[in-house]
Amino acid sequence: MKTKNIVTISASSLVLMFAFQNCHNSVKYSEIPSTNGALGAPDESEGSGDGGNGVSGDNSALGGDQLGESGQEGSGSPEIPLIPENPFDPGPGISLLPIDGEWASIAYEDNILDASAGDRDYNDAVFNYKISEQYNSANQLVRIFFEVRLREKISSNDHVLHLKLDGDASAQFDNIKQQSAPAFNGSADAKITYSDGSETEIVDAKSKDLIVFKSTSNTKGEISKITIELKNPELNVNSAVEKYVNFLKYRFILQNKGQSRTGIDIAEVNPSQEMLSNGNGYPFGFMIPTDWQPPAEHQLIDDKYPSFHKYREWLNAPTYPIADDIFKWYL
């Protein structure tokens, strides 16, 4: 059973918009101005798991709002169909990452063969992304939508961005042994639509290599869209529709084309030493739940974000519960 941690931030005009918990009990969240709160503020009582019926009703209404808004106005969430194609979901609920109309980000330092993690400007490849999970009326996950945008690329290297759904990238990348939870149970088909209009359809996509970006050269600003159609919704039942997507299920891996047998995970999904530099403990990639502004070329991230060291130190020696400010270094 999933649970959510909701952390109230004192002395702040911002409202906590999403929170989640992974198997290590770490919590990461985003603060979005309350005026932007299309979903409304989370209820602190939510997530205890003992109020399933009430929470379900609440999310039904939520899903309807999101469908209408995004379907008619294209307000930014991935392409949630206004009339669901699945005959079993007349009143679907939607879980989002981050909130409707916003972007989250993943940022990479692209030379993982450099044990010191290079110049640590984390602008080598930066992507925005958003995820929607669509649930049917039985709270079964039926469809997942992604939009991924290349936000920045300041590197002489070219890259491929991969998405792995089964939590195991070890067959493709020699440096990745760490496994993570699969994105869903059962099988699914996928369709990827690239900015040039071309499409790739992938049958039984769960264990396959989904190429989200074929190249980061001259593709800044381009958007790839991915649709995952689950074949076994009955194996993916939540006690209630989650308001917030757990991004840890979706493993985006950057490949430096010049280092084809190595991959770079974000540290949240792969918290092992595989993704921390040997000399100083900097991660090679991380997630930010906002549209993040990376440092300038060759600017050390600590110079632009002086609190980054708190996050880095935590990655190198995780302790629980996590102090509130650890994941707020980017604000």
Residues that bind Ca ion (CB under 5 A): 109, 118-119, 121, 123-124, 154-155
In the bound complex, what is the minimum distance in angstroms from residue 304's beta carbon to Ca ion? 13
Q: Which is nearer to Ca ion, 233 or 285 (CB)?
A: 285
Nearer to Ca ion, 154 or 211 (CB): 154
CA atoms lying within 13 Å on the CB side of residue 161: 33
Q: In the complex, what is the shortest distance from the CB of residue 242 to Ca ion, in angstroms, rounded to a whole number?
A: 34
Compute the least distance from the CB of residue 110 to Ca ion, in Å. Answer: 6
- In the complex with Ca ion, the residue whose CB is nearer, 118 or 289, is 118
For 59, 146, 185, the CA distances from 166, given in Å and listed in that order, are: 27, 16, 9
Q: Which residues contact 17 (CB under 8 A, 6 or more apart)?
A: 29, 30, 31, 32, 37, 39, 41, 42, 98, 99, 244
10 vs 156 by CB, closer to Ca ion: 156
C-alpha span between 331 and 315 (Å, rounded): 18
Q: Which is nearer to Ca ion, 155 or 259 (CB)?
A: 155
> What is the smallest separation between the CB atom of 298 and Ca ion, expressed in angstroms?
7
The position carrying tokens 């440092």 is 295
Q: How far apart are CA 50 and CA 3, in angstroms?
A: 11
For residue 119, the minimal CB distance to Ca ion (Å) is: 5
Q: Which two three-digit tokens encode residue 261?
A: 């047998």
Burial class (CB in 10 A: 0-12, 13-18, 19+), 53: exposed
Question: Please, which residue, 121 or 274, has the CB nearer to Ca ion?
Answer: 121
Least CB distance from residue 23 to Ca ion, whole Å?
30
**DSSP SS3 for 321:** coil
Per-position b or e across 268-300, b if 16+ CB within 10 A of its CB:
bbbbeebbbbeeeebbbbbbbbbebebbeeeee
